[in-house]
Amino acid sequence: MDLLDETKHIFKKRFMREPALIVSAPGRVNLIGEHTDYNEGHVLPVAIDRFTAVAASSRADRLCRLYTANLDEGFEFDLDRLLDDRPHWVSYIMGVLAEMERDGWTISGKDIVVNGTVPVASGLSSSAALEIATATAVERLEGFQIDDARMVRFCQKSEHHFIGVQCGPMDQYASRACRRGHAGLLDCRSMEMTHHRLPEGIDLVSIYSGIPRSLAASAYNERLESCRKVVKILRKTDPHIHALRDATTDLVESHKSNLGERIYRRARHVVTEQERVFELIQAMEREDRRRMGEILMAGHESLSRDYEVSLPLLDNMVEWLCRQSGVIGARLTGAGFGGSLICLAESDACDVESLSEIFLEQFEKKTPERPQIWTLTTVDGARYQS
Ligand code: GLA
């Protein structure tokens, strides 16, 4: 049974009726543009064939009855009485419903079943997929038409207010709007996405490092604070700087001494990463695989050395992968502090199955959880069926 049928079936068993509709929203892998989204810069994610499905029906009252098949756990709450004492997974759904109402959409209660294949805490955005699946289900059930940017903003706020992570808009936007066969270039200031075709003959391989990414809320939020500090300092000499997106590498270099070493390196990552986004798009257009690999590697090095969100083991994994034949390049994808790597490989020169075997032999014993390797396919953003 596929994920959608299975989720419908679970809904019927749980709530004794058919769901009015079912939505599936994908996880994402970011090709380049890491930690640039909350600096109003650009990112280049793809949506992947790992989904969170939400089956849902409206109710006449304000009660929400939730069930997650992944954890086999239920929970109920009233939209007029949001409870602080709730399981972590409920926060994502409650947060979206609450922020949606705060954004001006009045909604009725819902029966909701969640069921997903995006691995949790692996850095592939299972949380954004759940948020977008929930928001899209409610949008369709209520007959609203919500533009992508607006939906992404309230999902993002729900993560800020209900989870405590001051994330940018990338993951939610990718889950809602990316297209199959394309990477989505999102301008995180104008909140517009353009779609760029991926070259043929490249396998998209994702490697879960085996180190769960506790989106170390505090470390992530600390990076955001450093970026804000830099903006404050740069603004003193140039009032046109509203976010790090507005700064150039030259400007950051010229402020090296008053920024201090660590903050300077954080800023250097963001401004150089912003350049790498456009360089990668150009290399993709030219189908210049060698250059694509160099850009991924430079991105990883910058995350590791300047932004300090990698770990020695992740650095070793990236180095090891890049030495294997047929591998174009590899880097950490997502926030870091564990999680997943993305690796691009030549379809006809790299046997991903044997690569996985050797990789596991090499690294399995060094990680708290078993590393995992998946070849991924790119897909369209959230879809629904009534
Ligand atoms: C997490 C956040 C995103 C983004 C990335 C880093 O995935 O949710 O908004 O900041 O980290 O690029």
Say how many Å lie between the CA of residue 333 and the centre of ligand 1: 9
In a shared domain, residues 229 and 144: no
Indicate which CATH number applies to the domain containing 137: 3.30.230.10
DSSP class of 378: B
On whether residue 185 sits in a domain, the answer given is yes
**pLDDT given for residue 214 in this prediction:** 64
Q: Ligand 1 pocket, 334 CB below 6 A?
A: yes
Give kind and range of the element (H or E) at residue 11: helix 3-15
**pLDDT given for residue 122 in this prediction:** 82
Residue 171 near residue 165, CB atoms below 8 Å:
no
Atom of ligand 1 nearest to the CA of 123: 7
DSSP class of 107: -
Say how many Å lie between the CA of residue 168 and the centre of ligand 1: 6
Instruction: Give the chain's length.
Output: 386
Give kind and range of the element (H or E) at residue 174: helix 170-177
Beta bridge partners of 332: 341
pLDDT tens figures, 17-38: 999 999 999 999 999 999 999 9
Q: Ligand 1 pocket, 111 CB below 6 A?
A: no
Please choose, from the candidates 184, 294, 273, 172, the residue with its C-alpha nearest in 3D space to the C-alpha of residue 223.
Answer: 273
Q: How far apart are the first and last CA of the chain?
A: 18
In a shared domain, residues 324 and 366: yes
Please choose, from the candidates 239, 27, 48, 242, the residue with its C-alpha nearest in 3D space to the C-alpha of residue 130.
Answer: 27
Residue 246 near residue 240, CB atoms below 8 Å:
yes
In a shared domain, residues 51 and 12: yes
Q: To the nearest 10°, the Cα dihedral for 155, 159, 118, 74?
A: -100
DSSP class of 119: P
Single-letter amino acid, residue 144: F
Beta bridge partners of 207: 341, 373
On whether residue 25 sits in a domain, the answer given is yes
DSSP class of 39: G
**pLDDT given for residue 213 in this prediction:** 74
Indicate which CATH number applies to the domain containing 272: 3.30.70.890
Single-letter amino acid, residue 136: T
In a shared domain, residues 206 and 193: no
Q: Ligand 1 pocket, 35 CB below 6 A?
A: yes
Q: Ligand 1 pocket, 213 CB below 6 A?
A: no
Give me the catalytic one of 171, 203, 246, 306: 171
Q: Ligand 1 pocket, 303 CB below 6 A?
A: no
Best of 160, 167, 310, 340 to mutate for ligand 1, by most ligand atoms within 8 A of CB?
167
In a shared domain, residues 134 and 206: no
In a shared domain, residues 310 and 347: yes
Q: How far apart are CA 171 and CA 25, in angstroms?
A: 11
On whether residue 345 sits in a domain, the answer given is yes
**pLDDT given for residue 215 in this prediction:** 54
On whether residue 38 sits in a domain, the answer given is no
Q: How far apart are CA 95 and CA 155, in angstroms?
A: 8
User: Which residue in the block uniquely carries the two structure tokens 């640039």?
Assistant: 36
pLDDT tens figures, 177-236: 999 999 999 999 999 999 999 999 999 999 999 988 765 678 999 999 999 999 999 999
In this structure, which residue's CA is closest to atom 8 in ligand 1?
167
| Number of compact structural domains in the chain | 2
Q: Ligand 1 pocket, 339 CB below 6 A?
A: no
In a shared domain, residues 206 and 179: no
In a shared domain, residues 209 and 322: yes
99-126: b or e for each residue (b if 16 or more CB lie within 10 Å)?
bbeeeebebebbbbbbbbbbbbbbbbbb
In a shared domain, residues 128 and 155: yes
On whether residue 28 sits in a domain, the answer given is yes
Beta bridge partners of 186: 43, 193
In a shared domain, residues 284 and 318: yes
Atom of ligand 1 nearest to the CA of 168: 9
In a shared domain, residues 185 and 207: no
String of DSSP letters for 128-168? HHHHHHHHHHHHHHHT----HHHHHHHHHHHIIIII-----
**pLDDT given for residue 216 in this prediction:** 61
Residue 52 near residue 25, CB atoms below 8 Å:
yes
Relative to beta strand 110-116, strand 63-68 is: parallel
Enclosing domain of residue 96: 3-33+43-197+380-385
On whether residue 311 sits in a domain, the answer given is yes
In a shared domain, residues 170 and 225: no
Low-confidence ranges of the chain (pLDDT < 50): none
Active site residue 171: yes
Q: How far apart are CA 172 and CA 218, in angstroms?
A: 21
Distance of CA 224 to the CA centre of its chain: 16
Q: Ligand 1 pocket, 94 CB below 6 A?
A: no
On whether residue 263 sits in a domain, the answer given is yes
In this structure, which residue's CA is closest to atom 11 in ligand 1?
335
Atom of ligand 1 nearest to the CA of 38: 10
